[in-house]
Amino acid sequence: MALLALGRDPWSLLGLFLSQLFLPPTAGASGQEPLPRITYRAGEGRRALSLFHQKGLQDFDTLLLSGDGGTLYVGAREAILALDIQNPGMPKLKSMIPWPASDRKKSECAFKKKSNETQCFNFIRVLVSLNATHLYTCGTFAFSPACTFIELQDSYLLPISEDKVVEGKGQSPFDPAHKHTAVLADGMLYSGTMNNFLGSEPILIRTLGPQPVLKTDNFLRWLQPDASFVAAIPSTHFVYFFFEETASEFEFFEKLHTSRVARVCKNDVGGDKLLQKKWTTFLKAQLLCSQPGQLPFNVIRHAVLLPAAASAEPRVYAAFSSQWQIGGTRSSAVCAFSLKDIKRVFEGKYKELNKETSRWTTYGVPEISPRPGSCSVGPSSDKALTFMKDHFLMDEQVVGTPLLVKSGVEYTRLAVETAQGVDGQSHLVLYLGTGE
Ligand SMILES: *[C@@H]1O[C@H](CO)[C@@H](O)[C@H](O)[C@H]1NC(C)=O
Ligand SMILES: *[C@@H]1O[C@H](CO)[C@@H](O)[C@H](O)[C@H]1NC(C)=O
């Protein structure tokens, strides 16, 4: 690399270079690293709820809190549990139902060279509350995703009958190691994950409920083959997806990760002749979380919405790490993005790929009304759909403010709320989870 020849620390040069490339915000976090008010290690006794064990069960990966907060539903490896968490201490097991992958699927999985010790099981990945009487769940089902309804009786789980299990491709990943996200909005499940055995074909799909099943178009490359989903957030008209993928719009780097927000309209019904059974409103934009003059935190790990309050507009809070390890240590940042900024970027210019030069250029705003990709009711014209096929990447970035930057730690999950202090002021409280 030519930069090295200059004899300066390659990281600082790359940092400068990238900071120009990414146009970071001018307001950054201060030099001092924040200290958490409270830290809990896994299994620590001071927590209101102590560690739950159950012999023979592992991989408690998927959690769902009941509407009244008294029951925690847990998707584990080959089982779903309902835990009573109304009282402090160890959660009490209310009920547990097995949901193993079938023997046939397990042997097919092992035959395809996947491990019968670690991979060829049903890892629960989706667990959502459908209505007052039913949950909906999906699992990897030994590399053959499957879904089913679970009936509830006073928040006790009724056994799953085998004839109610349906294919779950696009809703659960095949591989338990692959990322995924799913959210239920207006009775429809919006999910983002890998759609094939090899894990090379990402998909955003809408299933369940009365509206047509819609997917991303794989051929049009709306998503890079390594797209990795971390969150989905519904709003009134849209569902936003948060993910990470290799950037194709920066030509300088072999494999530059970038974080994205994508959106689709809830009232999308797909195209008629063009984009049949596909999204006609899919758009994505770059999410940027960085400090001036530093390498960006380019790998999104999780995102949550803090809805509008009396004094504040709705914001998305997201935890990021970096693809680069600086000084041999990982670091994390939390950035806030206003929903207004996200909307503004989606209403701006697009990027367009010149197929001859393979370069992305800026494309203005189309003279098509209603604007393609907006949630206008009624069928879209062929002209609008043709436009949407190739204009799915927005030109501008959504720039977030780093609220905190911390080295030596990788935040993988977050939750946000506001709390009133004794001074009567409203404070933002971040809960940050790591692998430990
Ligand atoms: C996995 O397969 C091997 C070889 O067929 C077998 O010996 C072993 O018992 C299997 N393990 C499990 C957990 O089924
Ligand atoms: C909940 O959804 C299930 C599955 O679609 C359905 O069978 C059931 O009737 C619904 N229950 C209510 C109370 O709407």
Domain contains 7 = no
Domain contains 325 = yes
> 100, 220, 211, 208: which is closest to 162 by C-alpha?
100
How far lies 205's CA from each of 41, 50, 123, 365, in Å? 37, 37, 20, 27
Mutate to test the pocket of ligand 2, among 128, 129, 130 (most ligand atoms within 8 A of CB): 130
> 88, 392, 79, 114: which is closest to 263 by C-alpha?
392
Q: Are residues 371 and 310 in the same domain?
A: yes
Measured CA to CA, the distance from residue 144 to residue 139 in angstroms comes to 9
Q: For residue 149, give the ligand 2 atom closest to its CA.
A: 4
Distance 115 CA to ligand 1 centre (A): 9
124, 142, 176 — which closes off a domain?
Answer: 176
129, 150, 176 — which closes off a domain?
Answer: 176
Q: Are residues 162 and 306 in the same domain?
A: no
CB 351 within 8 A of CB 360: yes
Count of domains for the chain: 2
> 316, 344, 291: which is closest to 414 by C-alpha?
316
Q: For residue 116, give the ligand 1 atom closest to its CA.
A: 1
Domain contains 141 = yes
Q: For residue 106, give the ligand 1 atom closest to its CA.
A: 14
Q: Are residues 167 and 195 in the same domain?
A: no
Q: Ligand 2: which residues within 6 Å by Cβ?
A: 130-134, 149
Q: Are residues 166 and 183 in the same domain?
A: no
Distance 119 CA to ligand 1 centre (A): 12
Q: What is the pLDDT of residue 321?
A: 95
Strands 181-185 and 166-167, by their bridges, are unpaired
Q: Are residues 222 and 147 in the same domain?
A: no
Q: What is the pLDDT of residue 16?
A: 36
Q: Are residues 142 and 69 in the same domain?
A: yes
Q: What is the pLDDT of residue 198?
A: 95
**What are the residue ranges in the chain where pLDDT is below 70?**
1-32, 251-254, 311, 327
Amino acid of residue 118: T
Q: What is the pLDDT of residue 253?
A: 61
Nearby residues of 267 by Cβ (< 8 Å), 6 or more positions away: 237, 375, 377
Q: Are residues 143 and 216 in the same domain?
A: no
Q: Are residues 391 and 416 in the same domain?
A: yes
Q: Are residues 247 and 146 in the same domain?
A: no
Measured CA to CA, the distance from residue 409 to residue 330 in angstroms comes to 6
Q: Is 367 in the pocket of ligand 1 (CB under 6 A)?
A: no
User: To which H or E segment does residue 97 belong?
Assistant: strand 92-98
Measured CA to CA, the distance from residue 148 to residue 168 in angstroms comes to 9
- Nearest CA owner, ligand 1 atom 14: 116
Distance 130 CA to ligand 2 centre (A): 8
Q: Is 418 in the pocket of ligand 1 (CB under 6 A)?
A: no
* CATH code for the domain in which residue 204 is found: 2.130.10.10
How far lies 49's CA from each of 43, 45, 60, 274, 433, in Å? 9, 8, 15, 53, 16
CB 225 within 8 A of CB 202: yes
pTM over 0.85: yes
Q: What is the pLDDT of residue 34?
A: 81
Determine whether 31 is exposed, middle or buried from the number of CB atoms within 10 Å of its CB (0-12, 13-18, 19+).
exposed
Distance 102 CA to ligand 1 centre (A): 15
User: Which ligand is closest in space to the CA of residue 121?
Assistant: 1
User: Which ligand is closest in space to the CA of residue 103?
Assistant: 1
Domain contains 18 = no
Q: Are residues 196 and 167 in the same domain?
A: no
**Cα dihedral 163, 166, 172, 177 sign:** positive
Domain contains 28 = no
Domain range enclosing 209: 178-435
Q: Are residues 163 and 311 in the same domain?
A: no
- Nearest CA owner, ligand 1 atom 2: 116
Measured CA to CA, the distance from residue 338 to residue 153 in angstroms comes to 40
Measured CA to CA, the distance from residue 171 to residue 32 in angstroms comes to 42
Measured CA to CA, the distance from residue 340 to residue 74 in angstroms comes to 35
- Nearest CA owner, ligand 2 atom 3: 134
Q: Is 103 in the pocket of ligand 1 (CB under 6 A)?
A: no
Domain contains 168 = yes
* Beta-bridge partners for 96: 81
141, 176, 211 — which closes off a domain?
Answer: 176
Q: What is the pLDDT of residue 309?
A: 79
Domain contains 14 = no
Q: What is the pLDDT of residue 24?
A: 33
DSSP of 140-177: -TTTS-EEEEEEEETTEEPPPPGGG-EE-BTTB-SSTT
Domain contains 31 = no
Cα 20 off chain centre by: 27
At 9, give phi and psi (nearest 5°): -55, 115
Nearby residues of 434 by Cβ (< 8 Å), 6 or more positions away: 409, 410, 411, 412
Measured CA to CA, the distance from residue 337 to residue 334 in angstroms comes to 10
SS3 111: helix
Q: Are residues 98 and 70 in the same domain?
A: yes
Q: What is the pLDDT of residue 188?
A: 97
CB 281 within 8 A of CB 269: no
Determine whether 412 is exposed, middle or buried from the number of CB atoms within 10 Å of its CB (0-12, 13-18, 19+).
middle
Measured CA to CA, the distance from residue 407 to residue 321 in angstroms comes to 10
